[in-house]
Amino acid sequence: MKIAIGSDHAGFCLKEVLRSYLQEQGFELKDFGAYSEDRADYADFAHPVAAGVENKEFDFGLLMCGSGNGINMAANKHKGIRAALCWNAQVAELARQHNDANILTLPARFISEEEAKKCVDLFLNTAFEGGRHTDRVRKISDFTC
Distance CA 3, CA 49 (A): 9
* Number of separate domains in the chain: 1
Beta bridge partners of 106: 64
Question: Can 65 be counted among the known catalytic residues?
Answer: yes
Range of the domain at 38: 2-142
**98-124 confidence digits (pLDDT tens):** 999 999 999 999 999 999 999 999 999
**CA separation for the pair 86, 24 (Å, rounded):** 23
* Helices within 1-145 (DSSP H only): 12-24, 43-54, 69-75, 89-99, 113-125, 132-142
Model pLDDT for residues 48-57, shown as the tens digit of each residue: 999 999 999 9
Catalytic residue, from 9, 47, 65, 86: name it: 65
Catalytic residue among 9, 47, 86, 98: 98
Check if 98 is active-site.
yes
CATH code (residue 116): 3.40.1400.10
